[in-house]
């Protein structure tokens, strides 16, 4: 019985132990699942919350392709609203090499359609990357070919392409942009930050098999995504006739090249600036910087006799000479130290007045005036007229020219610089300086951009005429203008070929020898011919500079460049029946006139005033033909005396009209 009890106890103990073991196992299983649950929750929290954004970006990067696309650039307008530079949309070709099954075959098709090098295309399509550009901004015909081919992994996307509607017109001013739509030359470079817009993102997603699901364009988050438009001082009509006349002259004279600038002397506005030879900014492939360099502001050269008016102006201002003073010109040979100065074309002048020194362009007479004034004062006025420093024109690459410090001058330097040798200037410096004479002795800063407008053509910034300094007094400027008028109007003046009928022209010829560095002397064969001037002489509205580089015939400024000045001047007068400054400033598409307004400012000419249409018309400043036409339109009987430009009238403008609708108008060539 005890044995049976002991056995029962053992069974009971085993049962209890088994029960405890089962309980333990249940607890352990529960703990295992609890820990697993906590781990899963923690991992989910980490993935969903802590690392969610990082993983989302990683997934997006794996399944989405994103391209940065340039926005359209702003429009460049001339002063009348003509579009000189615009952006048009063009197709570009890109590819995802990872999705191309047969890179060799696809490369052959692409190379054939787009006229590309097969090896270059194959190298791109064999890349492990998932994106590459194949061609940017292709033609519509090429785009249609790519679309028809429907090649797997090859896509078309739209990009803005810079386009210059007038081709070569004003190319050196406008410049051009690169493939990345970044301005590389000219105004495109100078005002790149204003013209460029904010970049856009082009993206497409793919499923697990790599199939493209959708295409999406994301605009910049910046509220102001708009680019800005430029409104220039340039008049495309004047620019066209200047470029045409210059090109004809370069071809006719067999010249290496040439340039011409037209400026409003009272404001500093550049109305036209042309370089020859030109280039088409729509296609710069294969061109070198020599072709697109804006030589009017980058190149400097000896000005020759065009420098003489500034010498005479300085001497008059300092009261060192009077225009009637006489100088013996040594019959054509004047020795200074070890140098002998000769007159141009070996002329032999005796005694000349200051007025005649300019009219005949005497080197020796100029040298003697400079010697009488002294090198320090002469140097001072050279600087006052702006030579040796940049004008500050709003174009890239301007050169300051080359003026040696006066302390390094020797006696012969003073004499030679007097007639424009041994000093180097830029074309923009030269026309700015002669414009100071036309502007009563006040030097203005030249400028190209008149205003910056937003996409709605509302003015953002207005540029107004800037006075640099007063160089000479109005009286001296007027007397010098009279002398320069003789250069053109006199039968024996060197500038007679620049005459414009019924208009008083003031001007100066110049022929500068190029320095032959290999021989260390000035060349008699390689020259630059120039003519600079302004009109009408009594109230200048236009200043023009024409330079021909190495003409093969007519190697003198008076016979090579002066006729070009005349032709441009006549065409400007025919083009503008009214005052140039009264032309429209901005018209959108030449249809809807747009006011460029910012706060209380409106973009208008600096000297323009609102015309009062009541009473007697204002005839001053008009030619006889223009005055007759205006009088006829107002039923006014015109009594005319003299010829040239209207300088005064009776009754005065805006006088109330009575029964007698008669006006006496006096016209003069030189007031």
Question: DSSP letter at 49?
Answer: I
Would you state the structure tokens that stand for residue 470, as one six-digit string?
């007063």
**3 state SS for 329-363:** CHHHEEEECCEEEECHHHCCCCEEEHHHHHHHCCH
Residue partners of 426: CB distance under 8 A and separation at least 6? 296, 297, 298, 299, 300, 391, 398, 399, 401
Q: Report the C-alpha gap between 541 and 466 in whole angstroms.
A: 17
The active-site residue out of 87, 92, 305, 424 is 305
Give the residues across from 530 on adjacent strands: 510, 547
Instruction: Tell me, yes or no, if 305 is annotated catalytic.
Output: yes
Long-range contacts of 375-381 (CB under 8 A, 24+ apart): 375/406, 375/409, 375/413, 375/414, 376/406, 377/314, 377/318, 377/320, 378/311, 378/314, 378/414, 378/417, 378/418, 379/403, 379/406, 379/409, 380/314, 381/310, 381/311, 381/313, 381/314, 381/317, 381/471
**3 state SS for 465-531:** CCEEEECCCHHHHHHHHHHHHHHHHCCCCCCHHHCECCECCEEEEEEEEEEECCCCEEEEEEEEEEE
Q: Report the C-alpha gap between 580 and 535 in whole angstroms.
A: 12
For residue 383, count CB atoms less than 10 angstroms from its CB and return exposed for 0-12, middle for 13-18, buried for 19 or more. Answer: middle
Asked whether the beta carbons of 428 and 519 are under 8 A apart, the reply is no
Nearest C-alpha neighbor of 394 from the set 351, 445, 338: 445
Residue partners of 330: CB distance under 8 A and separation at least 6? 364
List the Cα angle 175/181/186 in 5-degree steps: 15
Got the DSSP string for 69-119? EPPPPPPEE-TTS-EEEEEEEEEEEEE-GGG-S-HHHHHHHHHHHHT--HH
CA dihedral sign, ordered 417, 423, 424, 425: negative
Cα end-to-end distance, the chain, whole Å: 158
The helix (H) or strand (E) run that includes residue 459 is strand 459-462
Q: Report the C-alpha gap between 182 and 413 in whole angstroms.
A: 45
Q: Report the C-alpha gap between 560 and 353 in whole angstroms.
A: 27
Nearest C-alpha neighbor of 586 from the set 597, 570, 575: 597
Residues recognised as catalytic? 305
């Amino acid at each position: 019985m005890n044995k049976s009890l002991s056995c029962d106890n053992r069974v009971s103990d085993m049962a209890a132990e088994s029960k405890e073991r089962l309980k333990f196992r249940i607890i352990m299983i529960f703990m295992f699942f609890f820990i697993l649950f906590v781990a899963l929750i923690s991992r989910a929290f980490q993935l969903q919350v802590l690392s969610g954004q990082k993983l989302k970006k990683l997934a997006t990067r794996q399944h989405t392709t994103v391209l940065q696309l340039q926005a359209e650039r702003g429009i460049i307008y001339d002063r009348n609203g003509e579009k000189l530079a615009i952006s048009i949309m063009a197709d570009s070709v890109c590819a995802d090499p990872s999705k191309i099954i047969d890179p060799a075959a696809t490369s052959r098709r692409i190379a054939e359609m787009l006229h590309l090098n097969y090896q270059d295309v194959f190298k791109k399509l064999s890349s492990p990357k998932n994106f590459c550009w194949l061609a940017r901004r292709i033609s519509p015909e090429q785009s249609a070919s790519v679309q028809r081919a429907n090649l797997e992994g090859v896509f078309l996307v739209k990009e803005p392409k810079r386009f210059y509607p007038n081709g070569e017109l004003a190319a050196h001013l406008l410049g051009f942009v690169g493939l990345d739509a970044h301005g590389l030359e000219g105004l495109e470079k100078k005002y790149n930050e204003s013209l460029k817009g904010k970049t856009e993102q082009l993206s497409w997603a793919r499923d697990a098999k790599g199939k493209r699901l959708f295409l999406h364009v994301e605009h910049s988050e910046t509220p102001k995504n708009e680019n800005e438009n430029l409104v220039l001082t340039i008049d495309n009509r004047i620019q066209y006739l200047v470029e045409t006349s210059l090109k004809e002259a370069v071809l006719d004279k067999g010249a290496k090249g040439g340039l011409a600038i037209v400026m409003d002397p009272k404001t500093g506005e550049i109305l036209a600036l042309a370089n020859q030879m030109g280039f088409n900014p729509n296609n710069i492939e294969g061109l070198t910087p020599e072709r697109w360099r804006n030589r009017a502001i980058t190149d400097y050269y000896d000005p020759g006799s065009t420098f003489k008016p500034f010498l005479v102006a300085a001497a008059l201002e300092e009261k060192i000479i009077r225009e009637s003073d006489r100088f013996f010109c040594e019959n054509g040979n004047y020795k200074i130290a070890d140098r002998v100065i000769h007159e141009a074309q070996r002329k032999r002048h005796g005694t000349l007045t200051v007025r005649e020194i300019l009219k005949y362009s005497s080197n020796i007479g100029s040298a003697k005036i400079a010697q009488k004034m002294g090198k320090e004062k002469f140097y001072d006025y050279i600087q006052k007229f702006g030579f040796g420093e940049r004008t500050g024109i709003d174009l890239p690459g301007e050169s300051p020219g080359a003026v040696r410090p006066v302390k390094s001058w020797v006696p012969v330097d003073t004499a030679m610089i007097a007639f424009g040798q041994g000093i180097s200037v830029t074309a923009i410096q030269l026309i700015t300086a002669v414009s100071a004479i036309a502007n009563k002795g006040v030097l203005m800063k030249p400028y190209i951009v008149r205003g910056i407008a937003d996409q709605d053509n509302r003015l953002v910034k207005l540029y107004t005429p800037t006075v640099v300094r007063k160089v000479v007094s109005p009286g001296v400027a007027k007397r010098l203008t009279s002398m320069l008028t003789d250069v053109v109007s006199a039968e024996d003046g060197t500038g007679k070929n620049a005459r414009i009928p019924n208009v008083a022209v003031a001007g100066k010829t110049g022929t500068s020898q190029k320095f032959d560095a290999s021989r260390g002397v000035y060349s008699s064969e390689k020259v630059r011919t120039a003519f600079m001037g302004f009109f009408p002489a009594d109230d200048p509205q236009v200043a023009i500079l024409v330079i021909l580089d190495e003409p093969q015939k007519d190697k003198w400024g008076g016979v090579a460049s002066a006729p070009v000045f005349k032709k441009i001047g006549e065409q400007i007068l025919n083009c503008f029946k009214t005052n140039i400054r009264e032309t429209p400033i901005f018209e959108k598409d030449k249809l809807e006139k747009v006011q460029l307004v910012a706060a209380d400012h409106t973009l208008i000419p600096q000297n323009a005033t609102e015309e009062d249409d009541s009473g007697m018309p204002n005839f001053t400043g008009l030619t006889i033909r223009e005055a007759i036409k205006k009088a006829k339109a107002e039923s006014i009987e015109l009594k005319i005396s003299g010829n040239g430009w209207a300088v005064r009238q009776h009754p005065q403008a805006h006088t109330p009209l009575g029964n007698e609708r008669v006006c006496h108008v006096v016209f003069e060539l030189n007031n």
